[in-house]
Amino acid sequence: MTQAIREEPSKVEPWTLVEGRTIKPGHENDFYAWIHHTLAVSERFPGSQGVTILTLGQGPSAVRYVIHRFADETTGLAWVNSEERATLMREAAAFSTPYTQTASGPEA
């Protein structure tokens, strides 16, 4: 007698990439132009579930956070390793310094 193998469905968890950017003085407009371009590129990327931009504190702040949400780690890592993102990171280096963090599952 043959017994069926029962597999549990894999659990796909959302994946989040948090990119902090310290903007060089006088380059705030460069950041906002870059972020508009980044949004246009990333929203077309497979698995993208949106982007949030945060500015901490009151008044002008040199720190901005770009939060990318993806359907899962596979699609998130595809974005992280993409040529599109590499190009965007090179562009941003002219006016900012990066800080990156990732999270998956409920933590995200």
Q: What is the pTM of this model?
A: 0.77
Count Cβ atoms below 10 Å from residue 64 Cβ, excluding itself: 19
Fold of 15-107: Alpha-Beta Plaits (3.30.70)
Q: Please tell me the predicted confidence (pLDDT) of residue 8.
A: 57
Instruction: Please check the confidence at residue 58 and state whether its pLDDT lies above 80.
Output: no
How far is the C-alpha of 25 from the C-alpha of 73, rounded, in Å?
Answer: 34
Distances (CA, A) of 88 to 38, 41, 92: 7, 9, 6
Tens of pLDDT, residues 8-41: 556 789 999 999 999 998 898 999 999 999 999 9
Cα 70 to its chain centre, rounded Å, is 8
Stretch 53-72: mean pLDDT? 84
Q: Please tell me the predicted confidence (pLDDT) of residue 63.
A: 87
Domain boundaries, the chain: 15-107
Which of 44-58, 76-90, 93-107 comes out lowest in average pLDDT? 93-107
